[in-house]
Amino acid sequence: MPELPDVTVYIEALEQRIYSHMLTKAQIASPFLLRTIDPPVDACVGHAVSSIKRVGKRIAIGFDNDIWLVLHLMIAGRLHWSEKLKKADGRRTLAAFVFDNGCLTLTEAGSQKRASLHMAAGKAGLDALDPGGIDVMTASLGEFTAALTAGNHTLKRALTDPHVFSGIGNAYSDEILHRARLSPVTLTSRLTTDEIARLRLATRATLQEWMDRLRIEAAGGFPEGVTAFRKEMAVHGRYGQPCPVCGAKVQRIRYASNETNYCAQCQTGGRLLADRALSRLLREDWPRTLEELEERRIAK
């Protein structure tokens, strides 16, 4: 799922291409994409783009009549830009927005169509789509601390809760926690002031680093390689591979269709966190430390 760095780079690319340009046609080819009926999509046609902003993980495109077109790409949705006219086929290409200088299309891979388009009128309509999480790139230490400790949840859940922090999801939360050397299952109420400060710095540094990386990768073009799995990441999507800091194998916690990746050596003092499925199955045989895990591998 595109998160804050990906969405930011998408927005920067869109600003270069569609800001002040007129939308001449909007084609929605998927019955699952459009989630609102008022205002209609055609309310934007014939109007110029006056603003583009991030709302959580959404991309909001505002027009000169104060109507907003708000896209949430979810897991498999991606944006593409072409100077040539494109058509939406309803299968992979769900929507095509034709401007006076080119065409923006929305595609979604796979059979589960989760990407969404909401239309909003004015600031009130746009605000209604905002989950309300704080912007970690501008929040003070006090604001960050207040948001983090407002509830008592695991760090992984707190970082990915859109009502707490804006734009952070599964991928970058893994990277943030690895940089901060904190366990994903530590409760927010148990953090020290030093750990909170370290987490804030790690959050800002990780997101800024990836915004810079993605800008370099795009090299002024439209970002086409948006993915949650990148070889340069420290732990996310790298189960079983060596941690770039200590060399220990990256571990994981699997739950439903999600996975949390972490380094036990760097983040949990060598303790393995229980994988819900396997720990229930193995019970007392579940290895508690990296040393136990390695001993069992050698014994096989």
| Half-sphere exposure for 186 (CA within 13 Å, toward CB) | 24
Q: At residue 298, does pLDDT exceed 60?
A: no
pLDDT of residue 38: 94
Tell me: the pLDDT tens digits for 5-27? 999 999 999 999 999 999 999 99
Confidence (pLDDT) at 67: 98
Positions of E strands within the chain: 23-28, 49-55, 58-63, 67-72, 77-82, 93-99, 102-108, 116-121, 251-255, 258-262
d(CA 194, CA 200): 10
Q: What is the mean pLDDT of the chain?
A: 91
Which residue reads 């034709």 in tokens?
A: 98
Please report the pLDDT score of residue 276 as a whole number: 55
Taking only the tens place, the pLDDT of each residue in 264-279 is 999 999 999 976 554 4
Q: What is the pLDDT of residue 110?
A: 82
**How many Å apart are CA 104 and CA 119, to the nearest integer?**
17
Question: Helix, strand, coil % (nearest 5) of the chain?
Answer: 35, 25, 40
User: What domains does the chain contain, in order, with CATH numbers?
Assistant: 4-127 (3.20.190.10), 135-300 (1.10.8.50)
233-251 pLDDT tens trace = 999 999 999 999 999 999 9
169-180 pLDDT tens trace: 999 999 999 999
Asked which of 124-138, 142-156, 271-285 is least confident by mean pLDDT, the reply is 271-285
Handedness of CA 223, 70, 203, 2 (dihedral sign): negative
pTM of the model: 0.90
